Structure 1
């Protein structure tokens, strides 16, 4: 089985480390602790220039819900156009209506603007009213995949729904489990659901290389820690998949 491993990263250095560890695709964003928001155009362009694997920036103008104002949707469209012009392989986004259904109109606008980039509908899906009708709406809007934790906080808690969604999709769209995907559970997740693409952030913390620490901030450990990705963690995640190795 040819599994695809997508790694979510906060910055350029984390992307480089994830690729070194064996990532097949990068979800590029900022503020992963808040679910991810759009990173700077400079980071997107630099990653696109330097890396050969597919880069899919998240297009999300703010944290919080997925109900956007007209002004925010205009920003989203501009960011999608930039990613297309930069040569990105895909983008990651998602839109809900106030009643919890998929905003088919806005999703369709974005897939049209994004083409030929792939469009992943992100975990806004996990906040929708009905996952099966939502999947049909997302398919009709032209998306290529759905990133989901099966409407649970962690994907391994929702294996049965993920399996059901994959079966109902019948190859029309990729269902990609994400959230809480780790080396300890990825094999079980693959075997129980039939999923072939997986999303993980494998976050770790690295200490700052600053030699001078101002006394005012010396006790504030978080000021000198940076979220990152360890290439060994990505390698371990891949090796835990059924049939281990590339």
Structure 2
């Protein structure tokens, strides 16, 4: 089985350094995590990228929640981030009735051609997650879907994640799944056993939620857990 990927949500260069120290493989950079993560500025990205050698995926999201409130503004921010060196992004939009908003997704992607990107947890808030998966499958640069399996988190969504992992390779299920959103250490063995090899953590590597910084020791505990699970799989 493939080695596990650990992605850590960071909001600053200092947090990026802490995540790297703890053994993260990749970072997701966002701001205002109390609002589920908004787009950083180009300057914030530059400081973060300069602090580490890890890949940094940058959130493209505004106050519209999982809708695009200001599509022109998002496109402008995307271009600014790309000009600052960002090559990987996190995005995903729904219509007001919970359907995939491919018009918005494509408009943002057109502003950052050639990028690699993750479709984020908008999937967990969709009216029909299977329809979203099939609609986005094959979009240029899409290589990962971040999901908890449920809008309320992995504990409730675990059966969905496990079932979807079993459909790997079917239309709508060709992208790598990254499990995240209330992820707990007890979820990891079950997900690994179904072939999920990417894991996304935010508050799980902080002592007191989003108001506290990334704790390198907590990142290290996740790193060790994933490495131990990989070792058992190999054995």
TM-score under structure 1 length normalisation:
0.82
Answer with 136-145 or 146-155: which moved more. Answer: 136-145
1:102–1:128: 8 Å Cα contact kept in structure 2? yes
Map of 2:50 onto structure 1: 49
Residue of structure 2 aligned with 1:84, choices 69, 82, 103: 82
Matches within 5 A, 1:204-223: 204-205=206-207
Question: Are positions 1:234 and 2:215 aligned together?
Answer: no
Name the structure 2 match of 1:187.
189
Instruction: Tell which structure's C-alpha radius of gyration is larger.
Output: 1
Q: Does 1:150 align with 2:152?
A: no
> What are the ranges of 5 or more consecutive residues in structure 1 without an aligned counterpart?
207-224
Q: In 2, are the aligned partners of 1:48 and 1:86 still within 8 Å (CA)?
A: no
Asked if the contact 1:104–1:141 (Cα under 8 Å) also holds between the matched residues in 2, the reply is no
Superposition map of 1:1-246 within 5 A: 1-62=2-63, 65-69=65-69, 72-142=70-140, 143-170=142-169, 172-191=174-193, 193-201=194-202, 202-205=204-207, 226-241=211-226, 242-243=229-230
User: Displacement, 1:226?
Assistant: 4.4
Q: Distance in 1 between matches of 2:127 and 2:138?
A: 17
> Alpha-carbon deviations, 1:149-203, whole Å to 9, x = none?
1124121332221133233341621111111123343233322x42111111124
Residues in 1 aligned to 2:82 and 2:91: alpha-carbon distance in whole angstroms: 14
Distance in 1, Cα, partners of 2:88 & 2:155 = 26
Alpha-carbon RMSD across the aligned residues, in angstroms, is 2.2
Could you list the runs of 4 or more consecutive aligned residues of structure 1 that deviate by over 4 angstroms after TM superposition? none
